[in-house]
Amino acid sequence: MLADDMACDARNPWPGTIFNNAHHHINVYGNDAEVDYRGDEVSAENFVRLLTGRHHEGTPRSKKLLTDERSNILIYLTGHGGNGFLKFQDKAELSATEVADAFEQMHQKKRYNEILFIVDTCQAESMSNEIRSPNIIGIGSSKIGQDSFSHHGDSSIGVYVIDRFTYYVLNFLEKLDPKLAHKTKLNEIFRVCPESVCMSTVKVRLDLYKRNPAKVPITEFFGNRPTFSLVDIADEPSAWLNML
């Protein structure tokens, strides 16, 4: 979901790119970036529909979260927010209650195995506080009562380009050796942005999570390759219908 088409904006001096910092080290809008929801499609309502599978008739497959009880899901939200809410497009808000309700529906419908829920916004901790469904980790870039901050600006475009927490998470992930990433454990991401550099207190909620994050490979949520099941439609004609 990408609310602003920054890559193709006429004011972007480098069309088709979005960089992680003012030195243009990483183009985060590379060839492997897929955007399924753009502009006004990015709404709190559509986000909840995506999670719960309650789509309008005719919604294409590419706009659906086709997960099941075996799926580990990473949800990463960043933007403006406050105590118990995150703004969408400055027009609507996604509340912590709505998030908790959506996750419970996902649990009841067997739409996930585990969820890593990360929020980078002011008072981000509050977005995880009402969750009661099992096997979910909540990470917030700031505790309740605190703001989250941007990292630095790009003078060529006159805006801040990335938030502090997201900057250090991306920096940590980019330094991982792809061949050895599976040896890196999930708990290491909890420490990538200490208060000395984040200027806020990162909060992690683990009481709903059954496993020890120190033993969970980070590739179960980041950087892993999707797996596919091949079905011979000639032997199972109904499989084609299930794909529609």
pLDDT at 19 (0 to 100): 84
pLDDT tens digits in sequence order for the chain, 244 residues long: 988 778 888 888 888 888 877 878 888 887 777 889 988 999 999 999 999 999 999 999 999 999 999 999 999 999 999 999 999 988 899 999 999 999 999 999 999 999 999 999 999 999 999 999 999 999 999 999 999 999 988 888 888 888 999 999 999 998 999 899 999 999 999 999 999 999 999 999 999 999 999 999 999 999 765 555 555 655 555 554 555 5
Phi, psi of 185 (to 5 degrees): -95, 155
194 contacts: CB under 8 Å, gap ≥ 6: 202
The CA angle 141-100-199, to the nearest 5 degrees, is 10
> In this predicted structure, what is the pLDDT of residue 225?
59
Catalytic residues: 80, 122
- Amino acid identity, position 219: T
Lookup: tokens for 200: 């806020």
Helix residue ranges, H only, the chain: 44-52, 96-108, 164-174, 195-198, 238-243
Residue 16: predicted pLDDT:
84
Quote the longest CA-to-CA distance of the chain.
60
Cα–Cα distance, 143 to 125 (Å, whole number): 5
- pLDDT the model gives residue 232: 61
Q: Which of 75, 157, 173 is nearest to 119 (CA)?
A: 75
Q: Environment class of residue 71 by beta-carbon count within 10 Å: exposed (0-12), middle (13-18) or buried (19+)? A: middle
Domains and CATH numbers, the chain: 39-243 (3.40.50.1460)
User: Which CA distances in Å does 169 have to 157, 202, 221?
Assistant: 23, 12, 13
> What is the rounded distance in angstroms from the CA atom of residue 169 to the CA atom of residue 191?
9
Q: What is the pTM of this model?
A: 0.87
